[in-house]
Structure 1
Amino acid sequence: MKKKKYLGIGLLFVCCFLAGRTAGKLQAAFVPAAQMTVEEAKLAVIIDDFGYNGAGTAEMLALDIPFTAAVLPFSSHTAENAAQAKAAGKEVIIHMPMESLTGKPEWVGDGAVCRGMSAAEVRQCMEAAYSAVPQAAGVNNHMGSAVMEDANTLGCVLDVVREKGGVFVDSVTTAESKCGTLAGEKGVPLLERDVFLDSTTEKSVVEERLREAANIAKAKGSAVAIGHVGPEGGVLTAQVLAEMAPELEKEGIRFVTVSELAGSH
């Protein structure tokens, strides 16, 4: 299977915005402080779109908290960014391109898993991604609403993740995801995104979303928040994480990797 080439970083920005806007309606509801009853609150932060040296890459890697770097496997700086994240002590997973129900197919990028592929073709895509990001402790979906709703294709993805001994994180780009059922059947550790953190220009929005994620963690014991490098979040999201992390840690929030969080479930 020949890999398609990215049509430019601008298209990546568009697909990130589309995924964020689509999934924004699915974000978990704000949890009032009065409902916070859990003593230990774990927050796993995932930063998507490493792999092309997007804005905020250096700032994210300089953060003094554990987080998981999700690296696009077939991008211009995949190997470089994955190695930098590992050297900075961050966990690395594959930000796997998958077919979306919205937008143009080429926006998803190189090596995407698509509906209609045979099991062998899906495996080829996944094996290539793991070869490109050998540090990967798991996978989350880049876009992918179409695949996440397709049990056959998604099942083939999860088969490879299981064989690699990794965790799968459902970015929740569709409310009709089949991942919860399939991951359980296949014995794949699964986490699901609770909150998207980013805003392009409004720092207060990022602060509110990080606070929302912290409140969910306090109420339920854990939460998963996803941000991005690049213009959708990048420097601004890194700034908010740096400023708010000490405050949240004083409140009992413990920042963890996705592997640690999945292992505690």
Structure 2
Amino acid sequence: MKKEWKNALCYLLFFCFCFAGGRLTAAKQAVKASNMSTYGKLAIVIDDFGYSGEGTDEMLALPIPLTVAVMPFSDCSKEDAQKAVNSGKEVIIHMPMESLSGKAEWVGKKGIFRTMNDEEIKALVEEAYSILPNAKGMNNHMGSAIMEDTRCLGDILDVVKEKNGFFVDSVTTAKSQGKALAKEKGVPFLARRVFLDSTDDIEVVKKNLRKAGEMALKGGEAMAIGHVGPEGGDVTVKALQSLIPELKEKGVVFVTASELAK
């Protein structure tokens, strides 16, 4: 009788252990599931249009919403912007700005520099909008020095606000004043979460795309930046072509930057 009682007690304890373990596993799975949205919005901004660089036409042919960042003072600025509009893509200004490192000529023919006064900065931003009148907003090309300078960045944001635009911080410096200043001035603001490319390795670009998709699913939305031309071009296009179906199947919804900025 004692032996049977002990066996019964052992079975009872084993059952309780399994039940508790199952409940704990289920709870962990529920928490994990609750941290993942059923879908997530992903905005992809593609920089460096304006030179008809490698991957330009192929990028515009992708069957997803894209935000095309066009250099305003380049040889093919208007041409590339019109191609983007004709392709149903969103256009923003890829505004050249002074960097804390690198050569001044890397900024381009024209750019925002800290030596400029307020009137000169605003006039150049106005000129950029006159060249790209379909632009819905702006992001920075290089620009780590300007993104840390509240005076210069404030001048830029003043014009963006007048144009009812939004600003995308490419996050070229950890000390960017973009978010705080945009909030102060009432300008819709987005910040880059992932850089997709600047590599010839398509597997790296795919890894970065998947990372951006996971961020979108976990947080509800995310934004990534890629490039045409030597910083991305064909390799970025091929990675996107390959992964669009996979990301959509997982619940990623591709949107424009302006949709996230709302």
Distance in 1 between residues matched to 2:260 and 2:92, nearest whole Å: 14
Distance in 1 between residues matched to 2:52 and 2:36, nearest whole Å: 40
Say whether residues 1:113 and 2:112 are aligned partners: yes
After TM superposition, the runs of 4+ consecutive aligned structure 1 residues lying more than 4 A away are 33-36
Q: RMSD over aligned Cα, in angstroms?
A: 1.2
Q: What corresponds to 1:57 in structure 2?
A: 56
Distance in 1 between residues matched to 2:34 and 2:215, nearest whole Å: 9
Paired residue type of 2:84 = A
Unaligned runs of 5+ in 1: 1-32
Q: Which moved more, 1:240-249 or 1:70-79?
A: 240-249
Question: Does the Cα contact within 8 Å between 2:92 and 2:138 map onto a contact in 1?
Answer: yes
Shift of 1:201: 1.8
Distance in 2 between residues matched to 1:62 and 1:36, nearest whole Å: 34
Shift of 1:116: 2.8
| 1:2-21 equivalences in 2 (<5 Å) | none
Q: What corresponds to 1:176 in structure 2?
A: 175
Shift of 1:34: 7.0
Paired residue type of 2:88 = G
| 1:1-265 equivalences in 2 (<5 Å) | 36-263=35-262
TM-score when normalising by structure 2:
0.86
Distance in 2 between residues matched to 1:36 and 1:229, nearest whole Å: 34
Secondary structure class of the residue paired with 1:248 = helix
- TM-aligned CA distance change 1:110 to 1:199, over 3 Å: closer
Structure number with bigger Rg: 2
Shift of 1:106: 1.4
Identical amino acids, percent of aligned pairs: 57
Distance in 2 between residues matched to 1:110 and 1:187, nearest whole Å: 30
Distance in 2 between residues matched to 1:54 and 1:213, nearest whole Å: 24
- TM-aligned CA distance change 1:254 to 1:181, over 3 Å: same
1:73-93 deviations in Å (ceiling 9; x for gaps) = 000100000000000000000
TM-score when normalising by structure 1:
0.85
Question: Does the Cα contact within 8 Å between 1:199 and 1:205 map onto a contact in 2?
Answer: no
Question: Does the Cα contact within 8 Å between 1:116 and 1:153 map onto a contact in 2?
Answer: no
Secondary structure class of the residue paired with 1:227 = strand
Unaligned runs of 5+ in 2: 1-31
Question: Does the Cα contact within 8 Å between 2:199 and 2:205 map onto a contact in 1?
Answer: no
Say how many residue pairs are matched. Answer: 231
Question: Does the Cα contact within 8 Å between 1:73 and 1:133 map onto a contact in 2?
Answer: yes
Distance in 2 between residues matched to 1:34 and 1:226, nearest whole Å: 28
Distance in 1 between residues matched to 2:231 and 2:137, nearest whole Å: 23
